[in-house]
Amino acid sequence: MALTLETQHRNARKAGIASFVGTTIEWYDFYAYSTAAALVLGKIFFPTTSALAGTLAAFATFWVGFLARPIGGIIFGHLGDKVGRKKTLIITLMLMGCCTTGMGLLPTYNQIGLLAPALLIVLRLMQGIAMGGEWGGAVVLSSEHAPKGKEILYSAFAQQGSPAGNLLATVAFLLTSMLPDHQFMTWGWRVPFLFSALLVMVGMFIRMSVDESPAMQQLKDRKKVAKLPIAEVLRDHKGLVAMGVGACVIGLSATYFKTTFALSWAVTSIGFDRTQFLTVITGAIVVQLIVQPFGALLATKMDLKKAVIYMLVPEIIALPLMFSLIATGSTKLAMFGMALASIPHSLYYAAMAGILAKSFPVQVRYTGISLSYQICGMVFAGTTPILGQYLLGATGSILSVVALGVLHVLITLFCALGLITRMRQEGARDAAREAMLAQS
């Protein structure tokens, strides 16, 4: 028994590390695009007489990746629930790496005309499909390898990939942005995209060493694998998906308020140069990387509803404060504001994945949590930069963007608490059924 327990913990750690490394690479690729969209893509792929129009066009292609993510969630969720978590995650990693490297090799609008933005959009779509399948699989793999009672804690390994990938992408662009403008605009922006090829090779080596999850293996052995997971999810768990979508909102959109939108706003409207504000963002991401795991610990050690309230409510104050401090034009104040605003949603983001994974039954878990997360990404996170830019242009005031951010926090709080209540009710019903079976 001791040996079995030791093996379980070793496999759980291996799965957690593999999920962390894989999601770090996937998020690096995804965030590299969002940073490039704010800094350069509008100018070289969508040249117009209006700087605002070019930025909006670049942010629109940014959203295209989110539009494709639910498709990836369905495709790879089906494979993950039918064939297995491990094989599916190898495919998603390869697809993402190929797309990102391809972006770094694309000719610009001045070289091949309209074909350039068309190819960019196709690669962004494929990138979104890969990301749509990656997150859910990484969370499920970690969660299902976890010792009993520690599912939220081990799911947080996959969540650490988001700030780690974001940090890598931001640092890559921070370094290349130090180049003279001509060099940055001609070849410097390509380097972070091409670096993806090296990262994927490392990720593949680590991911291939992980075993299939025990829960998935049991489904296969018992021949209980769902025939059509998406049909089962939409037939039996629509309400769960809807609450899952809402529970993810600020966990996803906060990053794009802070990075993609805030970067564009600070550089074009406040007077920061790109290197200055990328330094601000880097500091905030380091804070997120350090603070985030404590959210999983809080969710494991204390009442889950109370933990979620303690994590999310401070964001209602921190997010408006962040924009106010950025508006001062001071690098130090902007860095303090962004770091402070990173703490609440980072804590919640760590716990969010495990909450979703525990909410869906094992036979449709990959599909269920992928669909919830990716629909949220499409409807809320992917629209954050373009909607924020539109509101800023329409009202001339950052207060409209602040109001959008606060609305996202409130939606998340309401749905997360509802999800936990439902999860507990299902757990109580399952316990009652087991007790009746034991008595009979």
For the ranges 68-82, 266-280, 298-312, 423-437, the lowest mean pLDDT is seen at: 423-437
pLDDT digits (tens, 9 = 90+) for 94-145: 998 899 899 999 998 888 888 888 888 888 889 889 888 888 889 999 988 8
State yes or no: pLDDT of 420 exceeds 80: yes
pLDDT digits (tens, 9 = 90+) for 164-190: 888 898 889 889 888 888 898 889 989
* Residue 219: pLDDT band with limits 50, 70, 90: confident
pLDDT at 58: 65
State yes or no: pLDDT of 430 exceeds 80: no
State yes or no: pLDDT of 198 exceeds 50: yes
**Amino acid sitting at position 138:** A
Contact (Cβ atoms closer than 8 angstroms) between residue 76 and residue 230:
no
Residue (of 331, 328, 314, 332) closest to 412 by Cα position: 314
* Residue 437: pLDDT band with limits 50, 70, 90: low
Residue (of 345, 367, 343) closest to 356 by Cα position: 367
pLDDT at 51: 61
Question: Whole-number mean pLDDT of the chain?
Answer: 87
pLDDT at 62: 65
pLDDT digits (tens, 9 = 90+) for 73-96: 999 999 989 888 888 999 998 998
* Residue 1: pLDDT band with limits 50, 70, 90: very low
pLDDT at 434: 58
Average pLDDT over residues 367-388: 89
pLDDT digits (tens, 9 = 90+) for 397-406: 999 999 999 9
SS3 track for the chain: CHHHHHHHHHHHHHHHHHHHHHHHHHHHHHHHHHHHHHHHHHHHHCCCCCHHHHHHHHHHHHHHHHHHHHHHHHHHHHHHHHCCHHHHHHHHHHHHHHHHHHHHCCCCHHHHCCHHHHHHHHHHHHHHHHHHHHHHHHHHHHHHHCCCCCHHHHHHHHHCHHHHHHHHHHHHHHHHCCCCHHHHHHCHHHHHHHCHHHHHHHHHHHHCCCCCCHHHHHHHHCCCCCCCHHHHHHHHCHHHHHHHHHHCHHHHHHHHHHHHHHHHHHHHHHCCCHHHHHHHHHHHHHHHHHHCHHHHHHHHHCCHHHHHHHHHCCHHHHHHHHHHHHCCCCHHHHHHHHHHHHHHHHHHHHHHHHHHHHHCCHHHHHHHHHHHHHHHHHHHHCCHHHHHHHHHHHHCCCHHHHHHHHHHHHHHHHHHHHHHHHHHHHHHHHHHHHHHHHHC
* Residue 341: pLDDT band with limits 50, 70, 90: very high
Average pLDDT over residues 262-268: 89
CA dist list (Å): 84 to 8, 144, 266: 19, 12, 44
Q: Looking at residue 44, which CATH number applies to its domain?
A: 1.20.1250.20
pLDDT at 27: 85
pLDDT at 66: 75
| Residue partners of 418: CB distance under 8 A and separation at least 6 | 243, 246, 247
User: Number of folded domains in the chain?
Assistant: 1
Alpha-carbon Rg for the chain, nearest whole angstrom, is 21
pLDDT digits (tens, 9 = 90+) for 205-216: 888 888 888 888
Please tell me the pTM assigned to this model.
Answer: 0.83
Instruction: Classify burial at 83, counting beta carbons within 10 Å of its beta carbon; exposed 0-12, middle 13-18, buried 19 or more.
Output: middle
pLDDT at 4: 67
pLDDT at 305: 94
pLDDT digits (tens, 9 = 90+) for 237-260: 999 999 999 999 999 999 888 877
The torsion defined by the Cα of 326, 330, 332 and 338, in degrees rounded to 10, comes to 0
Domain boundaries, position 305: 2-439
For the ranges 61-65, 77-81, 339-343, 386-390, the lowest mean pLDDT is seen at: 61-65
Contact (Cβ atoms closer than 8 angstroms) between residue 53 and residue 109:
no
CA distance 56 to 38: 9
The token duo for 402 is 């602040």
The token duo for 108 is 């610009």
* Residue 7: pLDDT band with limits 50, 70, 90: confident
Average pLDDT over residues 413-418: 96
pLDDT at 48: 66
pLDDT at 54: 61
pLDDT at 128: 85
**Amino acid sitting at position 197:** A
pLDDT at 287: 93
pLDDT at 340: 96
pLDDT digits (tens, 9 = 90+) for 39-57: 787 778 877 655 666 666 6
- Check the CA dihedral 141-136-118-390 and report its sign: negative
Contact (Cβ atoms closer than 8 angstroms) between residue 266 and residue 273:
no
Residue (of 341, 336, 350, 344) closest to 283 by Cα position: 336
Q: For 108, left (φ over 0), alpha (ψ -120 to 50), or beta?
A: beta
**Looking at per-residue confidence, does 34 or 430 come out higher?**
34
Contact (Cβ atoms closer than 8 angstroms) between residue 274 and residue 402:
no
pLDDT at 205: 86
